[in-house]
């Protein structure tokens, strides 16, 4: 009997299968090249918009697909089975940037920016700074009131999708003395004077996903670019990241599933001592343990997503899903690499890429330690 958490309706199944076919046909052939080039192919990004995967939850009135958070999670999972770099591009767009605008944007902001984000503009979420990682609200970027708006000065680091993005949600403080109560979210265009996308990080994994520094030097934004209320940016950030963590869980879930599928196929093809290595009990046990941990990760991720869609409390479950699934992804990717033996250590097979990509799951959108701290507080 199927577990109710993993049962999908007909529409969900059809949507998932559509994305799976797209990933297989459009992403897999260029996966290795994008990883080597450290670049997301622009034509692929256009195709993501064409399939309405960049505005999944956005209401149709604003140009989106008008679908559910759960469907967004399914999309991230399916894309990440093939390439977690593409998965995180879609994840950040949907669970962070779109989500910010839908939940906190004024009606005018929604009408202006959501159609852009759904139809062609990549968005980025600019919170992290050199001095504010896990202590996310120790922001130094300053927003100084001036002439009906604000002047932004400061810098941001580790901003996902910054190379491709044209629209940024930037967090700055209007009053450092007020602590987190001074933090405010702003909508910033890439082409605003003084705004610069600078150093691109040379990363271990998810290399096709751009991660860059941002520089803001006297960037003027009008008061109409404040997202939510002045001084309430901390609330925007916290509540958005709670949902974003489920997206990262889905990315890591897909990564683990992708690694296992390749290891299973290889184990049935690779022969030693005159028979496929899958026939050896030691290999069977390792792959069975991978499959079991993946199923547990799936249950946790889907449960958190279903709770969110149902309007039920989900913060603890989101932290648990992100914590556990990132652990599983790294473990499974390592085990599956070893199934390939020496070939797993080469770029002839995707096992080494899944292994490299897996490490980031424990780090971004809240480290493992921060997830455990959140869980402990809610016990």
Give the Cβ contact number of residue 48 at 10 Å.
22
Strands 275-276 and 211-222 come out as unpaired
3-state secondary structure at position 169: strand
- Separation of alpha carbons 242 and 135, rounded Å: 15
- Separation of alpha carbons 174 and 223, rounded Å: 12
- Are 44 and 216 spatial neighbours (Cβ–Cβ below 8 Å)? no
- Separation of alpha carbons 258 and 263, rounded Å: 9
- Separation of alpha carbons 338 and 352, rounded Å: 10
First to last CA, the chain: 31
Q: Is 373 exposed, middle or buried (0-12, 13-18, 19+ CB in 10 A)?
A: middle
- Separation of alpha carbons 101 and 55, rounded Å: 11
Q: Is 365 a catalytic residue?
A: yes
Q: Is 318 exposed, middle or buried (0-12, 13-18, 19+ CB in 10 A)?
A: buried
Give the Cβ contact number of residue 3 at 10 Å.
10
Measured CA angle at 167 (ends 165, 168), to 5 deg:
95
- Separation of alpha carbons 371 and 252, rounded Å: 15
- Are 283 and 358 spatial neighbours (Cβ–Cβ below 8 Å)? no
Residue 322's contacts (CB-CB under 8 Å, 6 or more residues apart) are: 245, 246, 248, 249, 252, 361, 365, 366, 371
Residues designated catalytic: 365
């Amino acid at each position: 009997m199927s577990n109710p958490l993993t049962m999908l309706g007909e529409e969900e199944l059809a949507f998932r299968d559509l994305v799976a076919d797209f990933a297989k046909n459009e992403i897999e052939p260029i996966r290795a090249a994008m990883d080597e080039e450290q670049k997301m192919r622009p034509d692929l990004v256009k195709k993501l918009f064409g399939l309405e995967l960049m505005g999944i939850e956005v209401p149709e009135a604003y140009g989106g697909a008008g679908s559910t958070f759960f469907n967004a999670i399914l999309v991230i999972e399916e894309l990440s089975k093939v390439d977690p770099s593409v998965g995180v591009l879609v994840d950040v767009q949907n669970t962070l940037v779109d989500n910010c605008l839908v939940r906190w944007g004024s009606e005018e902001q929604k009408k202006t920016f959501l159609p852009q984000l759904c139809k062609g503009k990549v968005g980025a979420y600019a919170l992290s700074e050199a001095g504010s990682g896990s202590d996310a609200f120790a922001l130094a970027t300053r927003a100084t009131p001036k002439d009906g708006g604000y002047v932004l000065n400061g810098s941001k680091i580790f901003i996902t999708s910054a190379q491709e993005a044209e629209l940024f949600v930037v967090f700055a403080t209007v009053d450092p003395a007020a602590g987190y109560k001074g933090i405010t979210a702003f909508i910033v265009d890439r082409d605003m004077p003084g705004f610069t996308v600078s150093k691109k990080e040379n990363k271990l994994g998810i290399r096709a996903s751009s991660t860059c520094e941002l520089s803001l030097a006297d960037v003027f934004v009008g008061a109409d670019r404040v997202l939510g209320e002045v001084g309430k940016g901390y609330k925007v950030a916290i509540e958005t990241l709670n949902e974003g963590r489920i997206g990262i869980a889905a990315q890591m879930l897909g990564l683990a599933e992708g690694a296992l599928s390749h290891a299973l196929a290889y184990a049935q093809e690779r022969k030693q001592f005159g028979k496929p290595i899958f026939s050896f009990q030691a290999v069977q046990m390792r792959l069975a343990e991978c499959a079991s941990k993946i199923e547990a990760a799936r249950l946790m991720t889907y449960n958190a997503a279903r709770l969110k869609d149902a309007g039920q409390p989900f913060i603890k479950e989101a932290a648990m899903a992100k914590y556990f699934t990132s652990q599983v992804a790294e473990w499974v990717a390592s085990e599956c690499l070893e199934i390939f033996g020496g070939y797993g250590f080469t770029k002839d097979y995707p096992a080494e890429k899944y292994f490299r990509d897996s490490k980031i799951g424990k780090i971004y959108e809240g480290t493992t330690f921060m997830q455990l701290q959140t869980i402990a507080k809610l016990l």
